[in-house]
Amino acid sequence: MSVPVTVLSGELGAGKTTLLSRLLETVERDIAVLVNDVGAVNVDADLVEARTDLETGEEVVALENGCICCSLGNELSQAVIQLWKEHEFDHLVVEASGVSEPEPIARQFVRGPAGGPYDLEAVVTVIDARRFYDRFADSSVDDPPEIEGDDDTGTRPLADLVLEQVEFCDLLVVNKCDLVDDGERERVVALLETLQPRADLITSEHGDLEPDQLLGVERFDLEAATEAAGWKQVIEADEREHEHDDLTDADGDHEHEHSDHHDHGDHHEHGDHGGHDHDHDHDHRHPPERYGIAVDTYHRRRPFHPERLEAFLSDLPDGLVRAKGLCWIAGREKQAITMSYAGTETALEVTGRWIASFSEERQELYRQGQPDLPWDDEWGDRETRLALIGRNIDLEALEARLDECLLTDAEMDDDWLVYENRAPTGMGESAVVSSER
């Protein structure tokens, strides 16, 4: 029988170790723990080991000097398989480093070697309520807390990583709620439910939870977790609406002029996230708009001018929490670039190629496999489609500013390669633009 696994994710200082330590003190089953820390000394592992009541501590496997989902990915699989071979236990808990993305970790237990002896039960993300409120939910803060990290080296913005951890999980534990008042807590909860509408949510103080709130509940579904992020659902709803518009267009006109996609229809209402059972400590799900949370999409089939786009990203409006999706930047006609904004920084990363950049033969093959793919006779599948999530923000004004970044009719005839352009060119490469707000 496979051993159930729980992955604990969350940024540094969110309270993962405290939560895990309390769990080990109260649970009535044999727990194996794998802890990862990125420092030279694995402090978290020392804390966990001190509370296991094992004389040797050998069932605590600590991977030092690296991230288990990246440079030590292979070692993770080897470590947990070795652990399974040499010890008997009822449950495995993986405490991920605060700078780890949970998705690659989860995939190792679903589609990697560790998927044999183990069954991934849940991915849990722990949130520091005070820090999350100050960084993302407080409309009165003119200068959000500074995020450590380099602005211009392509280093992944930590605020973006925090939201990735929120967007890929089954359970959100909003911890340190003693540091926020009731109104602040409710705003945090409403924003988290908008960013991750699928996950269950529990609030806590000092990581004090009952073991059965974390263990023994089958939550994880890889496909559902991969598609669960609020920004993805917004974009998918927008795509479905426009596919429906295309099918019902009496004239059969399939042009995609950018002005056609500047509407504000019912698909932007996201107060009701579906009929999930949520273990909340409040008696109903608050509609996001009650807290000034707005959601919209931005869809255009005209490229951004790279210099105006960078100037815009350097001066983003207060209240923008998340902007993510694919964008088309003039001078990068091959590269499908993912734009991802969080905190005060926007990452631009090459995550694929436009089908229209391939040979005609390969284009035909791809298009046969995607018969519903919108296609422009001149530009093919190139487009910008972003999800925009903000609090107390004028989304129409934001979209108007984005429109000003698009090439003009005259610029469409320019040589786009002469523009100064910091956008990346190679697969997996990224550039980071810091906002001055």
Q: What average pLDDT does the segment 295-315 reach?
A: 96
The DSSP element (H or E) to which 16 belongs, if any, is helix 16-26
CB proximity list for 10: less than 8 A, separation 6 or greater: 16, 96, 98, 125, 126, 127, 128, 165, 173
- Is the per-residue pLDDT at 278 higher than 50? no
Q: How far is CA 431 from CA 346, 347, 409, in A?
A: 8, 6, 27
- List for the chain the helix, strand, coil content (%; round to 5): 35, 20, 45
Q: What average pLDDT does the segment 133-147 reach?
A: 64
Residue, of 253 and 385, whose pLDDT is higher: 385
Q: Decide the pairing of beta strands 384-391 and 293-300.
A: antiparallel
Q: What average pLDDT does the segment 360-372 reach?
A: 92
Max avg pLDDT among 119-123, 260-264, 274-278, 289-293: 119-123
Say how far residue 33 (Cα) sits from the centre of its chain: 25
- Is the per-residue pLDDT at 28 higher than 70? yes
Max avg pLDDT among 35-49, 50-64, 324-338: 324-338
Half-sphere exposure at residue 146, Cβ-oriented, CA atoms within 13 angstroms: 5
CB 204 within 8 A of CB 129: no
Q: In whole numbers, what is the pLDDT of the chain averaged over residues?
A: 82
Question: Which range is least confidently modeled, 7-11, 67-71, 285-289, 385-389?
Answer: 285-289
Give the Cα separation of 65 and 137 in Å (integer): 33
**How confident is the model at residue 19, as a pLDDT?**
92
Own/partner pairs, 257-262, CB within 8 angstroms, 24+ separation: 257/301, 258/299, 258/300, 258/301, 258/302, 258/403, 258/406, 261/297, 261/298, 261/299, 261/300, 261/301, 262/399, 262/403
For residue 256, what pLDDT band results from cuts at 50, 70 and 90?
Answer: very low
**How confident is the model at residue 395, as a pLDDT?**
93
Hey, what are 159's tokens? 């605020």
Residue, of 206 and 150, whose pLDDT is higher: 206
**How confident is the model at residue 12, as a pLDDT?**
87
Q: What is the pTM of this model?
A: 0.78
**β-sheet bridge partners, residue 33:** 60, 93
Give percent above pLDDT 70 in the chain.
Answer: 76
- Is the per-residue pLDDT at 139 higher than 70? no
Give the Cα separation of 366 and 375 in Å (integer): 12
Residue, of 133 and 273, whose pLDDT is higher: 133
What sections of 150-195 are H helices per DSSP? Answer: 158-167, 182-195
Question: What is the number of other CB atoms lying within 10 angstroms of the CB of residue 211?
Answer: 17
**How confident is the model at residue 159, as a pLDDT?**
87
φ, ψ of residue 16 to 5 degrees: the values are -65, -45
CB proximity list for 177: less than 8 A, separation 6 or greater: 129, 185, 203, 204, 205
Hey, what are 161's tokens? 């990583």
- Is the per-residue pLDDT at 308 higher than 90? yes
pLDDT in tens, 400-409: 999 999 999 9
pLDDT in tens, 61-112: 666 656 655 555 668 888 888 889 988 899 999 998 888 889 989 999 998 8
**β-sheet bridge partners, residue 119:** 4
The residue with tokens 């993770």 is 76
Three-state SS at 195 = helix
What sections of 148-267 are H helices per DSSP? Answer: 158-167, 182-195, 211-214, 222-226, 230-247
Three-state SS at 198 = coil
- Is the per-residue pLDDT at 263 higher than 50? no
For residue 206, what pLDDT band results from cuts at 50, 70 and 90?
Answer: very high
Q: What average pLDDT does the segment 167-182 reach?
A: 96
Quick one: how many helices (H) and strands (E) in the chain?
Answer: 13, 13
**How confident is the model at residue 404, as a pLDDT?**
98
Burial label for 374, CB within 10 Å (0-12, 13-18, 19+), is middle
Question: Which range is least confidently modeled, 24-38, 132-146, 416-430?
Answer: 132-146
CB 30 within 8 A of CB 90: yes
Q: Decide the pairing of beta strands 384-391 and 118-128.
A: unpaired
**Structural domains in the chain?**
3-125+136-158 (3.40.1010), 230-261+284-434 (3.30.1220.10)
Give percent above pLDDT 90 in the chain.
Answer: 51
Give the Cα separation of 252 and 326 in Å (integer): 26
- Is the per-residue pLDDT at 154 higher than 60? no
Residue, of 97 and 270, whose pLDDT is higher: 97
Q: Decide the pairing of beta strands 171-175 and 200-203.
A: parallel
